[in-house]
């Protein structure tokens, strides 16, 4: 597996892969089976598989969440090697933000609600870093999980609006046997919280109103940011202690 760590190496990579189908999976590390499923699809559909690991500070609206985000780089590298990934993009903050985040990408409609309302600045930071990563890799195809459904919609909208020749592919959410959507933040749940967390996707799937789901979640000890039906999905964000979980299911 080759490692790209700065812009010069990325430009050389782009020159050496002209005419190839390049599949790209951007991640923040702490990789799990959900990431692996995206990578495997990328490998199947492209000539070259690229994965990035970068814990992006600009999309954390709480500093404590950024500091506690699980970082497991050596373990992640071993997984990527086993999946036979061709290139790992591993940039540092100076590479990603030489301007100290003075230039930012802003979307003015979808990003005002749900995650945008409850995590100010998060979606702008996400779009900015995704655009930078796409520019460093110049993939033909990029793969995103549907668990972050609002993010997926925004990335698709950005690529279309900015005329980027990249196909954005949404992949179905991978779940644990207990039904909880796979997420790096799950590793921070205690055993008791993990058991409690399964109530969240169970309620999202039930044929009851958003109001009833919200009331049931509160009764079960969750703090609810939102439960909403939009874009043909039922989406939710809840807290268990200091851990925030998001999920969505088709309506």
Q: Given its phi and psi angles, is residue 79 left (phi above 0), alpha (psi -120 to 50 degrees) or beta?
A: alpha
At 232 the pLDDT is: 97
End-to-end C-alpha distance for the chain, whole angstroms: 41
Structural domains of the chain, with CATH:
2-171 (3.40.50.620), 184-250 (3.30.1300.10)
Residue 180 has a CB neighbour count (10 Å cut-off) of 20
Give the residue ranges of DSSP H helices in 162-198: 191-197
Q: What is the DSSP letter of 153?
A: H
Positions marked active-site? 35
Q: Which of 28, 2, 24 is nearest to 13 (CA)?
A: 2
CA angle 127, 128, 132 (to 5 degrees): 115
CA distances from 50 to 43, 45, 130, 174, 177 (A): 9, 12, 14, 20, 29
The single residue listed with the structure tokens 């995590």 is 119
**Rounded-to-integer distance, Cα 40 and Cα 38, Å:** 6
Q: What is the pLDDT along the chain (251 residues), one digit of tens a residue?
A: 999 999 999 999 999 999 999 999 999 999 999 999 999 999 999 999 999 999 999 999 888 889 989 999 999 999 999 999 999 999 999 999 999 999 999 999 999 999 999 999 999 999 999 999 999 999 999 999 999 999 999 999 999 999 999 999 999 999 999 999 999 989 899 999 999 999 999 999 999 999 999 999 999 999 999 999 999 999 999 999 999 999 999 99
Q: Give the pTM.
A: 0.96
Give pLDDT tens digits for 31-45: 999 999 999 999 999
Mean pLDDT (the chain) is 97
Nearest-angstrom CA–CA distance, 34 and 23 = 16
Please answer whether residues 167 and 142 qualify as being in contact, where contact means their C-beta atoms are separated by less than 8 angstroms. yes
Neighbours of 171 (CB within 10 A): 18
Looking at residue 62, its pLDDT comes to: 86
Residue 50 has a pLDDT of: 98
Q: Which two tokens stand for residue 34?
A: 């959900």
118 touches 1 (CB < 8 A)? no
The fraction of the chain above a pLDDT of 70, given in percent, is 100
Q: pLDDT per residue over 178-230, tens digit each?
A: 999 999 989 899 999 999 999 999 999 999 999 999 999 999 999 999 999 99
């Amino acid at each position: 597996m080759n490692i790209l760590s700065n812009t010069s190496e990325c430009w050389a990579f782009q020159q050496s892969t002209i005419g190839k189908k390049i599949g790209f999976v951007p991640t923040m590390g702490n990789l799990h089976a959900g990431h692996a499923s995206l990578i495997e699809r990328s490998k199947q559909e492209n000539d070259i598989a690229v994965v990035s690991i970068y814990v992006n500070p600009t999309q954390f609206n709480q500093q404590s969440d950024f500091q506690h985000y699980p970082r497991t780089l050596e373990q992640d590298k071993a997984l990527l090697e086993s999946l036979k990934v061709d290139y790992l993009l591993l940039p540092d903050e100076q590479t990603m933000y030489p301007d100290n985040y003075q230039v930012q990408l802003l979307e003015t409609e979808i990003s005002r609600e749900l995650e945008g309302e409850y995590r100010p600045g998060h979606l702008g930071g996400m779009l900015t870093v995704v655009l930078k990563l796409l520019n460093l890799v110049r993939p033909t195809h990029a793969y995103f999980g549907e668990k972050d459904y609002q993010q997926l919609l925004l990335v698709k909208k950005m690529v279309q609006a900015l005329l980027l020749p990249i196909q954005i592919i949404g992949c179905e959410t991978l779940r644990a046997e207990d039904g909880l959507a796979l997420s790096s933040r799950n590793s921070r749940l205690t055993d008791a919280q993990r058991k409690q967390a399964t109530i969240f996707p169970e309620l999202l799937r039930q044929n009851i109103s958003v109001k009833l789901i919200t009331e049931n979640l509160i009764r079960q000890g969750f703090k609810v940011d939102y439960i909403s039906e939009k874009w043909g999905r039922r989406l939710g964000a809840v807290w268990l202690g200091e851990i925030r979980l998001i999920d969505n299911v088709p309506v």
